[in-house]
Amino acid sequence: MRISRRNVLAKGGAATLAGLTMPAGLTLSAAEDAQPAWTIGDFRITPLLDGVVEVDETIFTDADPAARRDLLEDAGQPEGKIRLDVNTFLIERGDTTILVDTGTRDLYGPTLGKLPAALAAAGVDPSDIQHVILTHMHNDHVGGLVDGNGKSAFANAQLHVAEAEWTYWTSEDNFASATAAGQFSFAGARAATPLYQDRVQPFSGTAEILPGIHPIALPGHSLAHTGFRLTSGADQLIIWGDVVVSPELQFAHPEWTSTFDADPAQAAQSRMQIFREVAADQIPVLGMHLPFPGAGTVLRNGDAYELTAL
Ligand SMILES: [Zn+2]
C-alpha cells in the first residue's frame, strides 16, 4: 500500500534542495506536492507530524526567566507558552517498514493525533508497519500505539523498546505510588502494553536491534530514554528522541532541564554528550520535538549550540 506515495514522489523526483548545505550522504527530496523524505545510504526516512502541543514555559524551572522569555519571544512563541512539534519517523529499507515513536493519539487534544492521517498521506497502511521502535514511553511517544477504538494500531508490528523503560512503565507499583498527575503519564503506556506484550522485543546495551540500527543510551529524560544510530555504508544519522524538548531554549542552554525529565541532571548530561558528538562529527540528527520535519545539523558555539534545520 505504498504505491500512492511513490507515484507522488515520482512526479517531483528526488532532488537536493537548493541553498541547503547537506551533510555528506544525506539527500533530502521534497517535491512541492509531496512530503519531505531523506535517504541515508539505503535507508529512506519520511518525517510524519503528529501535531503541535502547547506547554507552559515554566516547565523549564532552572532557566533564568528573563533569558527564557527573550529566547522564546525571538522564536515567536506566545506569551508564557512553548508550542512543540511532535514528530515521528517512518524508516524504509528494502522490504522492511519501521516506525519510530507513535505520537499522542487523543491524549493531548485535537491539535495532535494526526499520525494516522500522516501515514495515509505517505501511502502507508498501519498494517504495513513491521517494527515500531520507541525512544521512550511518555504519552506523546506511545499514545499512537493504540487506535481510537482501543485496539492495537499496528497489528503486524514487533515492538522494540529498552527493557528498563518497558519494566518501569508496566510496573503496577510505580503506577500505584505516583501522584494523580504522575499517573496520567502512564496513560499511553498502560493502554498500549497489554496489546503488545506478546510481541515486544526489549533491548539493552548497544547491540544492533535491526540491521543498521543501534541504540544509544541517552537516559535522564526518562529512565531508559534511547536514541538510535542508523548506519549504512559510510553514512550515518542519529534519531535522538527528546534530547531536545524546546529547541529555542536547549541549544542555547543545554544545561536547562524541564519538569518532563525524570532525572534532570542526567538528562542534561546525555544532551551535552550527544551534542558534542553530532557537532564534532557533523552527524545529521532527527528529533521528536525539533521543528517539523524535525531534522538538522548541530554546530558548537562556545558552551552553546546552534541547530541548522534541514
Ligand atoms: Zn516527547
Going from the Cα of 155 to the center of ligand 1, the distance in angstroms, rounded, reads: 24
Query: What's the half-sphere exposure (Cβ side, CA atoms, 13 Å) at 180?
Result: 0
Question: Could you give the domains of the chain?
Answer: 3-309 (3.60.15.10)
pLDDT at 30: 53
Q: Is 37 exposed, middle or buried (0-12, 13-18, 19+ CB in 10 A)?
A: buried
Going from the Cα of 234 to the center of ligand 1, the distance in angstroms, rounded, reads: 30
pLDDT at 8: 28
Q: Tell how strand 200-203 and strand 158-162 pair up.
A: parallel
> Is residue 67's pLDDT more than 70?
yes
pLDDT at 17: 33
Going from the Cα of 227 to the center of ligand 1, the distance in angstroms, rounded, reads: 13
> Is residue 300's pLDDT more than 70?
yes
pLDDT at 18: 30
SS3 151: coil
pLDDT at 273: 98
Going from the Cα of 95 to the center of ligand 1, the distance in angstroms, rounded, reads: 29
List all residues 6 or more positions away from 306 whose beta carbon is below 8 Å from its beta carbon: 251, 298, 299
Model pLDDT for residues 72-104, shown as the tens digit of each residue: 999 999 999 999 999 999 999 999 999 999 999
Q: What does the mean pLDDT of the chain come to?
A: 90
Alpha-carbon distances, residue 252 vs 263, 275, 295, 306 (angstroms):
20, 12, 17, 7
Going from the Cα of 102 to the center of ligand 1, the distance in angstroms, rounded, reads: 10
Going from the Cα of 103 to the center of ligand 1, the distance in angstroms, rounded, reads: 9
Q: pLDDT category, 12, cuts 50, 70, 90?
A: very low
Q: What is the Rg, in whole angstroms, of the alpha carbon atoms belonging to the chain?
A: 18
Q: pLDDT category, 9, cuts 50, 70, 90?
A: very low
> Is residue 287's pLDDT more than 90?
yes
What average pLDDT does the segment 221-246 reach? Answer: 97
DSSP code of 77? Answer: P
> Is residue 217's pLDDT more than 90?
yes
DSSP code of 143? Answer: G
Q: Of 69 and 3, which is predicted with more confidence?
A: 69
Q: Which residues of 9-25 are buried (b: 16+ CB within 10 A; e: fewer)?
A: beeeebeeeeeeeebeb
pLDDT at 21: 42
pLDDT at 310: 86
pLDDT at 36: 82
Q: What share of the chain is helix, strand, coil (3-state, %, to 5)?
A: 30, 30, 45
The sign one gets for the Cα dihedral 27, 30, 34, 36 is positive
Going from the Cα of 141 to the center of ligand 1, the distance in angstroms, rounded, reads: 6
How many CB atoms neighbour CB 42 within 10 A?
13
Model pLDDT for residues 125-175, shown as the tens digit of each residue: 999 999 999 999 999 999 999 999 999 999 999 999 999 999 999 999 999
List all residues 6 or more positions away from 238 whose beta carbon is below 8 Å from its beta carbon: 216, 227, 228, 229, 230, 274, 278, 283, 284, 285, 286
All three cell numbers of 269: 548530561
Model pLDDT for residues 32-51, shown as the tens digit of each residue: 446 789 999 999 999 999 99
pLDDT at 10: 28
Within 170-210, residue ranges assigned H as helices are 172-176, 180-184, 187-196
Going from the Cα of 243 to the center of ligand 1, the distance in angstroms, rounded, reads: 9
Going from the Cα of 86 to the center of ligand 1, the distance in angstroms, rounded, reads: 7
Going from the Cα of 279 to the center of ligand 1, the distance in angstroms, rounded, reads: 22
Percent of the chain with pLDDT over 70: 89
All three cell numbers of 267: 538528562
